């Protein structure tokens, strides 16, 4: 492979032709290739907007964004281009902001030239000397807080000859978020500076929300196609171990640079760094994008999907489709959880809404052992369907979910000697919904369980050692 020469070879002279207004896109889409063979002047208009958007079902967060969404809009230029960047700070915003692009050669990467108060605009110009995939972010003090609120995006400086064509290019950027409430605690969640300093993330998500790449919003492809993912990591704190379950990366341009490595399972994406990943798809089905620091995927939101249609290839893979057990409630996303959260906020939560939300949550949390139909597995997992033990005592059933159960228990005349782990990582409203569903399904009939009842049990009982609070 030829030496690209870094910045020394990246100056192709003065920009030629008329200035070009850059096409900017929101994730997961990318602007088209520049398809240019000369250096141009490219004008970029980015507007900072402070917006309230969902980070999870029923959970809102005040994001600070480059362009109205997290991550910021994707910028695509060619090596040697001269970029004239205009940063607007929307008049409704509360904070000053600026931009530091890692693609810039020059102190501060643009930050010192672009400090912008609400209602103002600033601009600066740079020549993109190095090719590669670069992060940009806000660098206004307190810098960590601006990045933690979602102020980052990607700029791709194409090599002069462009990249080889592929069937799909997608933009995926990871970020960690810190909220006062625990994971999925409902309502508008404020930023938690202390948790951010301690690097104790509440959420780790792709593209600004744990629902951004699941269900209807999954990335799409067909068997036989080649995919190129432009992966970024905004941080502020965590390094990503990016992995696609069921795929092997044919090529990885490590850290967004020029050289590629081949046949990679998991690639590191540093905070404030990137990677370009390519793979051809042979087998149809659902592929799961994760940060393989795996609690982040299943307990903090770092999980996305790529749905691939096409002919089965039993010679390559004989297995079954999506394993709904490990995918939890994301296997079949429903609006039920969001709806219940919304009505709870308005004080209009009904038993029916709780049952619907509880059903979704049960699939993810309890059905692995107690089975989707609540029948359990004889001798191993006791039934919840028509369980005399469950229905005899509502308070006790709350306690079991919160604190687990060990030792001997007799359900419908049959003994069980096993262990159920505590599920106290669930919120009060989630446990209330699950138990309302369980106590009103498969022939069971009982009253609703309210979040207040769960909270009361949480307060008056002790968690077993090692359980989540
Ligand atoms: Cu900012």
Cα 251 to ligand 1 centroid, rounded to whole Å = 34
Per-residue pLDDT at 469: 86
pLDDT at res. 7:
82
Euclidean distance between the first and final Cα of the chain, in Å? 54
- For residue 108, report the distance from its CA to the centre of ligand 1, in Å: 14
User: Which distant-in-sequence residues (6+ apart) come within 8 Å of 245 by Cβ?
Assistant: 287, 288, 289, 290
Distance 217 CA to ligand 1 centre (A): 28
Does 48 score more than 80 pLDDT?
A: yes
How far is the centre of ligand 1, averaged over its atoms, from the C-alpha of 150 (Å)? 9
Q: How large is the average pLDDT for residues 412-439?
A: 95
Tell me the CA–centroid distance for residue 135 and ligand 1, in Å.
14
Q: Please give the pLDDT value at position 222.
A: 98
Sheet holding 261-264, edge to edge: 203-206, 168-177, 226-235, 273-280, 249-253, 261-264
Mean of per-residue pLDDT scores for the chain: 94
pLDDT digits (tens, 9 = 90+) for 356-368: 999 999 988 999 8
The rounded Å distance from CA 120 to ligand 1 centre is 13
- Going from the Cα of 238 to the center of ligand 1, the distance in angstroms, rounded, reads 19
CA of 64 to the centre of ligand 1 (A): 7
Check: pTM over 0.85? Answer yes or no. Answer: yes
Distance (Å) from CA 122 to ligand 1 centroid: 14
Give yes or no for a contact between 203 and 60, defined as CB atoms under 8 angstroms apart: no
Rounded to the nearest angstrom, the distance between the alpha carbon of 5 and the centre of ligand 1 is 34
% of the chain residues with pLDDT over 90 = 90
| CA 461 / ligand 1 centre spacing (Å) | 43
The whole-angstrom separation of Cα 302 and Cα 294 is: 8
Give the DSSP H/E element, type plus range, for residue 105.
none
Confidence of residue 326 (pLDDT cuts 50, 70, 90): low
pLDDT tens-digit series, residues 367-413: 989 999 999 999 999 999 999 999 999 999 999 999 999 999 999 99
* Contact call for residues 154 and 29 (beta carbons, < 8 A): no
């Amino acid at each position: 492979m030829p030496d690209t020469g870094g910045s020394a070879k990246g100056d192709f002279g003065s920009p030629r032709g008329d200035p070009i207004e850059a096409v900017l896109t929101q994730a997961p889409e990318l602007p088209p290739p520049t398809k240019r063979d000369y250096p141009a002047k490219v004008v970029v208009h980015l507007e900072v907007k402070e917006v309230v958007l969902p980070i999870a079902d029923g959970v809102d967060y005040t994001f600070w964004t480059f362009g109205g969404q997290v991550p910021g809009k994707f910028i695509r230029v060619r090596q040697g281009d001269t970029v004239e960047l205009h940063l607007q700070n929307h008049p409704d915003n509360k904070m000053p902001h600026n931009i530091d692009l890692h693609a810039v050669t020059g102190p501060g990467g643009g930050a010192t030239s672009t400090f912008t108060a609400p209602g103002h605009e600033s601009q600066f110009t740079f020549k993109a000397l190095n090719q590669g995939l670069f992060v940009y972010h806000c660098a206004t003090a307190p810098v960590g807080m601006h990045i933690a609120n979602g102020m980052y995006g990607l700029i791709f400086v194409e090599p002069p000859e462009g990249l080889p064509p592929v069937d799909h290019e997608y933009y995926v950027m990871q970020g960690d978020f810190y909220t006062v409430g625990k994971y999925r605690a409902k309502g508008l969640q404020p930023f938690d500076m202390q948790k951010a300093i301690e690097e104790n993330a509440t959420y780790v998500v792709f593209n600004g929300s744990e629902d951004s790449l699941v269900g209807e919003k999954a990335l799409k492809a067909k068997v036989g196609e080649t995919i190129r993912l432009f992966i970024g990591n905004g941080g502020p704190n965590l390094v990503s171990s990016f992995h696609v379950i069921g795929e092997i990366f044919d090529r990885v341009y490590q850290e967004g640079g020029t050289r590629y490595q081949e046949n990679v399972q998991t690639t590191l994406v540093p905070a404030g760094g990137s990677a370009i990943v390519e793979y051809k798809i042979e087998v149809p089905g659902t592929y799961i994008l994760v940060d393989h620091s795996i609690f982040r995927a299943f307990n903090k939101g770092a999980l996305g999907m790529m749905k691939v249609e096409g002919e089965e290839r039993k010679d390559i893979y004989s297995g079954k489709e999506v394993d709904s057990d490990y995918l939890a409630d994301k296997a079949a996303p429903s609006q039920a959880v969001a709806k219940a959260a919304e009505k709870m906020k308005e004080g209009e939560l009904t038993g029916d809404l709780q049952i619907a939300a509880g059903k979704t949550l049960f699939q993810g949390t309890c059905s692995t052992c107690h089975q989707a139909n609540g029948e359990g597995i004889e001798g191993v997992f006791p039934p919840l369907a028509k369980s005399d033990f469950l229905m005899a005592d509502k308070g006790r059933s709350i306690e079991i979910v919160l604190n687990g159960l060990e030792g001997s228990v007799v359900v419908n005349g049959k003994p069980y000697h096993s262990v159920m782990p505590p599920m106290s990582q669930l919120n009060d409203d989630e446990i209330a919904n699950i138990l309302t569903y369980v106590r009103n399904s498969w022939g069971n009939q009982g009253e609703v369980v309210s979040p207040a009842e769960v909270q009361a049990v949480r307060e008056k009982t002790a968690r077993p050692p090692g359980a989540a609070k």
